[in-house]
Structure 1
Amino acid sequence: MGQRTGLAVVATVGLVAAWVGWGAYARRSVAVVPYTTVETVDGVEIRAYPASVVVETTAPTEDEAYARLERYRSGANEPRADVPMATPVSTHVGVREREGRVLAPIRVGGEAVASTVPVRSTTADDRVTVGITLPEGYTVERAPRPTNAEVTVRADPPRTLAVRPFSWWATDDRTESQEAALLSALDGTGLEQTGAPVLFRYDPPLTPPFLRQNEVAVAVDVPG
Structure 2
Amino acid sequence: MLTGLRQCDRTGNRAFPILAGYIFGKNKGERKLAMTAPVTQAPVPAKLDMTAPVTQSAGPDGILVQFVLPKDINMDNAPLPLDARVRLREVPPKQVAVIRYSGFWSQANYARHLAELQAALRAANITWTGEPVLSRYNGPMTLWFMRRNEIWLNLD
What's the secondary structure of 1:194's corresponding residue?
strand
**Pairing partner for 1:80 from 23, 27, 30:** 30
What's the secondary structure of 2:145's corresponding residue?
helix
What amino acid maps onto 1:57 in structure 2? L
What's the secondary structure of 2:88's corresponding residue?
strand
Instruction: Report the Cα offset of residue 204 of structure 1.
Output: 0.9
> Equivalences for 1:56-135 in 2 at 5 Å?
56-60=1-5, 62=11, 63-92=13-42, 94=56, 123-125=58-60, 127-135=62-70
> What residue ranges of structure 1 are gaps of 5+ in the alignment?
1-55, 96-122
Identity between Structure 1 and Structure 2 (%): 30
Instruction: Report the Cα offset of residue 90 of structure 1.
Output: 1.9
The alignment covers a number of residue pairs equal to 139
User: Is 1:168 matched up with 2:113?
Assistant: no
What's the secondary structure of 2:74's corresponding residue?
coil
Moved over 6 A (4+): none
Give the TM-score taking structure 2 as reference length. Answer: 0.77
Instruction: Report the Cα offset of residue 215 of structure 1.
Output: 1.4
Q: 2:89 matched to which residue of 1?
A: 154
What's the secondary structure of 1:195's corresponding residue?
strand
* Greater fraction of residues in strand: 1
What amino acid maps onto 1:59 in structure 2? G
Q: 2:131 matched to which residue of 1?
A: 196
What amino acid maps onto 1:214 in structure 2? N
What amino acid maps onto 1:210 in structure 2? F
Question: Which has the higher mean CA deviation after the structures are superposed, 210-219 or 81-90?
Answer: 81-90
Structure 1 residues 187 and 134: CA distance shift in structure 2, 3 A: same
Give the TM-score taking structure 1 as reference length. Answer: 0.56
What's the Cα RMSD here?
2.1
Structure 1 residues 208 and 73: CA distance shift in structure 2, 3 A: same
**Pairing partner for 1:136 from 71, 83, 90:** 71
Instruction: Report the Cα offset of residue 155 of structure 1.
Output: 0.9
For 1:149 and 1:174, how far apart are their aligned partners in 2? 33
For 2:110 and 2:98, how far apart are their aligned partners in 1? 13
Instruction: Report the Cα offset of residue 141 of structure 1.
Output: 1.0
For 1:219 and 1:90, how far apart are their aligned partners in 2? 14
What amino acid maps onto 2:32 in structure 1? D
Instruction: Report the Cα offset of residue 184 of structure 1.
Output: 0.2
Structure 1 residues 160 and 126: CA distance shift in structure 2, 3 A: closer
Considering only CA atoms, is the larger Rg found in Structure 1 or Structure 2?
A: 1
Structure 1 residues 74 and 137: CA distance shift in structure 2, 3 A: closer
Instruction: Report the Cα offset of residue 160 of structure 1.
Output: 0.6
What amino acid maps onto 1:196 in structure 2? E
